[in-house]
């Protein structure tokens, strides 16, 4: 307990000197919680973004090391990559334990969605995004990356995948998702935020049919087998109109 208190005190001092944090409870309470999880402002684990605490790539990797992550596998999704256009989509799978089936995250990058400072390194950016999203799922760390981009209701799912090979199953997948939400009394906004993060896209309309089907299957399995764990995962996502921990 003393170590946690000491880290929180140090984080608080650095937060005030580095980010200008005052006495806002919306920032202090989450910082105390993140300090208890051993995130260190001085080590670059946390950043303040849009008045929310954000766990950085460094923080996620350090956390995975502390929790003895068994491995991270990254591969390119060849069907969605176009090297000539510098567009890359990568898939990362994090295995937090030996018996884990893995937590999957997708990351995409092209010249239109990366900073000019990293132009030419789009594949590395896509890899970082994919790994971050997989780590967030594996360890229940929320993200603020999608704030402001999510409409309130569940969007209409795409009728075909990214390659245009539709199978006409769009409504069926959408209906199944709605059924899971109703059956297990889930918050549709949080489910949507989780779906976007799971697929690694800006909106559900940008996701491929395979990504959406994989998400719905995982959601169904998790809801049936461990609803409490699923609720914890969903609650880690930020509502666009609320201020909570990132």
Calpha distance 214→57 (Å, rounded): 25
Q: What is the pLDDT of residue 11?
A: 93
Considering 12-26, 66-80, 191-205, the range whose residues carry the highest mean pLDDT is 66-80
Of 139, 163, 178, the domain-final residue: 139
72 near 92, Cβ under 8 Å? yes
Nearest of 179, 173, 180 to residue 157 by alpha carbon: 173
- 204 and 160 co-located in one domain: yes
- 123 and 160 co-located in one domain: no
- 29 and 125 co-located in one domain: no
Calpha distance 72→239 (Å, rounded): 29
38 near 139, Cβ under 8 Å? no
pLDDT(5) > 80: no
- 109 and 40 co-located in one domain: no
- 134 and 150 co-located in one domain: no
Count of structural domains within the chain: 3
- 58 and 108 co-located in one domain: no
pTM value > 0.85: no
Residue 60 phi/psi, 5-degree rounding, is -65, -45
Considering 57-66, 175-184, 187-196, the range whose residues carry the highest mean pLDDT is 57-66
pLDDT(42) > 80: yes
pLDDT interval class at 2 (50, 70, 90): low
Q: What is the pLDDT of residue 10?
A: 94
- 207 and 120 co-located in one domain: no
Strand ordering across the sheet containing 103-109: 71-76, 88-95, 103-109
Of 12, 32, 64, the domain-final residue: 64
107 near 143, Cβ under 8 Å? no
Fill in the DSSP letter of residue 238: P
Of 139, 170, 189, the domain-final residue: 139
User: Residue written as tokens 């790994």?
Assistant: 131
- 150 and 226 co-located in one domain: yes
Residues 6 or more apart whose CB falls under 8 angstroms from that of 237 comprise 142, 143, 190, 193, 194, 197
Question: What's the average model confidence in pLDDT over 155-162?
Answer: 41
Residues spanned by the domain of 209: 143-246
CA dist 12 to 17, 63, 71, Å?
9, 20, 32
pLDDT interval class at 126 (50, 70, 90): very high
């Amino acid at each position: 307990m003393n170590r946690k208190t000491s880290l929180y005190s140090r984080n608080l001092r650095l937060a005030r000197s580095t980010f200008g944090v005052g006495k806002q409870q919306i920032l202090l309470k989450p910082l105390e919680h993140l300090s208890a999880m051993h995130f260190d402002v001085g080590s670059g684990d946390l950043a303040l973004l849009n008045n929310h605490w954000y766990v950085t790539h460094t923080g996620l990797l350090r956390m995975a090391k502390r929790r003895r992550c068994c491995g991270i596998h990254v591969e390119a999704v060849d069907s969605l990559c176009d090297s000539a256009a510098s567009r890359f989509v990568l898939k990362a799978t994090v295995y937090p334990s030996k018996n884990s089936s893995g937590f999957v995250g997708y990351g995409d990058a092209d010249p239109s969605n990366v900073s000019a400072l990293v132009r030419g390194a789009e594949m590395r950016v896509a890899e970082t995004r994919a790994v971050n999203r997989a780590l967030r799922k594996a360890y229940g760390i929320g993200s603020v990356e999608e704030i402001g981009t999510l409409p309130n209701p569940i969007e209409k799912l795409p009728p075909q995948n990214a390659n245009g090979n539709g199978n006409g199953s769009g409504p069926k997948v959408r209906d199944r998702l709605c059924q899971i939400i109703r059956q297990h009394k889930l918050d549709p906004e949080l489910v949507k935020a989780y779906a976007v993060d799971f697929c690694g896209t800006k909106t559900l309309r940008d996701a491929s049919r395979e990504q959406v089907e994989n998400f719905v299957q995982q959601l169904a399995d998790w809801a049936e087998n461990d609803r409490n764990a699923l609720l914890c995962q969903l609650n880690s996502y930020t509502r666009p109109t609320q201020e909570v921990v990132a």
